[in-house]
Amino acid sequence: MGRLVQHLRENREQINQRIFNTFLRETTELKTKSKHGQIRQFVIVSLRKSQKHQLARRFEQCGRGHQCSYIYCTQCRARYANRLESRINYHIGQHRLNDAEIRQRFRFVTLLHYLVPNEVRQIELQQRQVRRELNNFRRKWFGTWGTGVYEYELIDMHKVCHSNNLSGSGSRKHAVLIGMLNRHVGANLFDDDIGISWADQNGTNRTDYVLLHTHFVMDGGDFDWNDIKENMQRRWAGKYRVDVLPLHSDKPIDESISRVSNYCFKNLGRLTSYNYDFGYYNHEDVSTKRFNAREVASMFVLNNSMNSGNRKGLLLYWNSLRD
């Protein structure tokens, strides 16, 4: 008993710190669960307001023995991310790659492909074009491997064109989106807003677009990554459209792979709000980052439609590496 008391006294500071860290972690987890619960309920209400009752019911009833497979579902999203992580680790084990080889050969790639009016049919057509472009790319780099996802990010171009106080990444993304839309409509949007709206099937003029892009982990095999990146930048020309990053040098390989796998499947908060940092808008308060009910429902339907019946439509994969 005396030894225990002495141990507690000598290690009081470390024990108190561990208790505090545990309390802080559990409190953060509870807050996150509460926030996700509120957003989840907002998604369900939004679907019902848009008369998507079957989707809302399947989402609401997701649980053991009945998986909805929607990326808006926290459990199903985690399952998708875990599968991607497992696929990457399987590839590493299959080719018996050590840490040094993984750091040399692996890169995390983001490609910004097209800015498309937020209409399923138009996005489907553009995604077919993206698949053709990626097929041409992987034929050029025969002897590589890659896996990742297609992602759809909702962008309100009216807000983008009227944003100010830009700096850093917000300024860069603003320039990218303006440039991509200029190519889409053939107008200079810094001078005027002519051409940024599009008419849906009901004749309503809208300014909501979807940024179609891809995230994937690529094993460049024996190729030089400088050559691969240069080729990517020629194929997908334009500033900041190609982002090629090595794995975190200050983190273990397994942690880096876990991080990029989770990044490929955004959390519920990012799936239901505008994700760009463009400062303040001239005409409205910045608090309008959260999607409205129509926007949430449209993106939910889009992701569900693009995911296809086998639930693999969002996935990107190729393998031309020799064993």
Q: What is the pLDDT of residues 216-241, one digit of tens each?
A: 999 999 999 999 999 999 999 988 89
Share of the chain above pLDDT 90, in %: 40
**Residues with Cβ < 8 Å from 112, sequence gap 6 or more?**
176, 180, 211, 213, 236, 238, 240, 241, 242
pLDDT for the residue numbered 282: 39
Whether residue 181 lies inside any domain: the answer is yes
pLDDT for the residue numbered 191: 45
Angle formed by the axes of helices 53-60 and 12-49, nearest 10°:
160
Whether residue 19 lies inside any domain: the answer is no
Whether residue 36 lies inside any domain: the answer is no
The whole-number average pLDDT for the span 54-59 is 91
pLDDT for the residue numbered 281: 37
Is pTM beyond 0.75? Reply is yes
**Residue 274 structural domain:** 77-319
Whether residue 72 lies inside any domain: the answer is no
Q: Are 249 and 103 in contact (CB under 8 A)?
A: yes
214, exposed or middle or buried, with CB in 10 Å at 0-12, 13-18, 19+? buried
Whether residue 52 lies inside any domain: the answer is no
Whether residue 184 lies inside any domain: the answer is yes
pLDDT for the residue numbered 294: 84
pLDDT for the residue numbered 184: 65
Beta strands in the chain (DSSP E): 106-117, 145-156, 198-199, 205-206, 208-219, 242-245, 315-319
Q: Look at the chain and report how many structural domains it folds into.
A: 1
Distance CA 203, CA 78 (A): 39
Whether residue 37 lies inside any domain: the answer is no
Whether residue 15 lies inside any domain: the answer is no
